[in-house]
Amino acid sequence: MTQEPDGSSDVVLQSGRLRLVLVTGPSGAGRSTAINALEDIGFEVIDNLPLSLVSRLLSGPPHTAPLALGIDVRNRDFSTDTTVALLDELATAPNIDADVLYLDCRPDVLVRRYSETRRRHPLAPSETPDIGIAREIELLVPVRARADMLIDTSDLTVHDAKSEIMRHFGDTDQSSQMAISVESFSYKRGLPRGVDMVFDVRFLANPHWDADLRALDGRDSDVREYIKRDTRFDAFFTRVHELSDSLLPAFKEEGKTYLTVAFGCTGGQHRSVAVAEMLAAALAASGWQVSTRHRELERRGKSTTPRDTGLGS
């Protein structure tokens, strides 16, 4: 497949199938941001198209770019049943490669965003936004269950959300390599959403109790060496690496274009960060396309650029 000079891609893949992304999620979760990011990387985007017109659109003249459709409760003829039926129909369409991108967000964050913008919720125009948010989340439960990709924007800036979209959809050729994200998090703040594999590393020796290491994080070589001295580390890491090596090719063969592995510890600063960095480096050395994200470090405003990693290029 060739790349056009303007950055857009030929919609017809080698298989002759249309590349389609349906973008949905609760109002205020970042659907517009996702739509704009997809447009920036060459998608033709249509927002709030009546659901009754989607079939006509797809059966019309061939498109000259991959297609993204924005769908939410503001669509003129939106209903849960109609949306689910459309998604099920697209999932079996012989000439369409369709993905459902669901932008999720915690209710308390949605309430805050509505308060900041002073907008009325489409499902509660004369009531408080929290009532409309609760109604919408309930309506979208069956749609969320059919999502191929879920991005929780609760702790993401607009820039972060755009980066996530561009990382996953920047190459619209599905024969390209599967993208892998290795993340760290704190169990105190709960499991991250949308992850595929989660590992608990709270059993490893905790650098927090070493005064010289407490202020550092898992990207520092001293912290990593401390963790690696735990007699349980080698066997654990070897098994996780072997498991990843055996599963990633299978996921890719099934057509998965992105996969997220997450490691959690108590504070999300030392053990989970260190193990995430080490697995990311091991997978990259095996030829996988890998990126890292450290949720708690980002929340604390720490740079996510590796420093003193000792991991090489």
pLDDT at 5: 32
* pLDDT-derived band at 255, boundaries 50, 70, 90: low
Percent of the chain scoring above 90 in pLDDT? 39
User: Does the structure show a pLDDT above 80 at 312?
Assistant: no
Domains of the chain: 18-169 (3.40.50.300), 179-299 (no CATH)
Count of CB atoms situated within 10 Å of the CB of 296: 21
Q: With contact defined as beta carbons under 8 Å apart, do 231 and 152 qualify?
A: no
Summarize the confidence of residues 166-174 as an average pLDDT. Answer: 63
pLDDT above 90: residue 198: yes
Lowest mean pLDDT among 2-6, 141-145, 226-230, 233-237: 2-6
Predicted local distance difference test score (pLDDT) of residue 171: 55
Please say whether the dihedral angle defined by the alpha carbons of residues 41, 46, 48 and 49, taken in this order, is positive or negative: negative
- Hey, what amino acid is at 233? F
For 12-51, how does the pLDDT look when each residue is reduced to its tens digit (9 = 90+)?
Answer: 443 467 889 999 999 999 888 999 889 888 899 999 888 8
Burial annotation 35-53 (CB, 10 A radius, 16+ → b, else e): bbbbeebbbebebeeebee
Give 278's pLDDT tier (boundaries 50, 70, 90). Answer: very high
- Which residues have CB under 8 Å from 272's CB, separation 6+? 184, 185, 186, 201, 218, 263, 264, 265, 294
C-alpha distance across the termini of the chain, in Å:
30
pLDDT tops 60 at residue 266: yes
Q: Using an 8 Å Cβ cutoff, are 268 and 296 in contact?
A: yes
Q: Calculate mean pLDDT across residues 115-125.
A: 81
Say if residue 11's pLDDT is above 50: no
Count of helices and strands (H, E) across the chain: 11, 9
Residue 7 clears pLDDT 70, i.e. is over it:
no
Per-residue pLDDT tens over the stretch 67-113: 999 988 877 778 888 888 888 888 888 888 888 999 999 999 999 88
**For residue 8, what pLDDT is reported?**
36
pLDDT confidence of residue 267: 95
pLDDT tens, residue by residue, 125-169: 888 888 989 999 998 999 888 888 889 998 888 878 887 887 778
Task: Calculate helix-pair angle for 129-139, 107-117, nearest 10 degrees.
Answer: 130
Confidence at 177, pLDDT banded by 50, 70, 90: low
**What average pLDDT does the segment 172-190 reach?**
77
- Band of pLDDT at residue 275, cut at 50, 70 and 90: very high
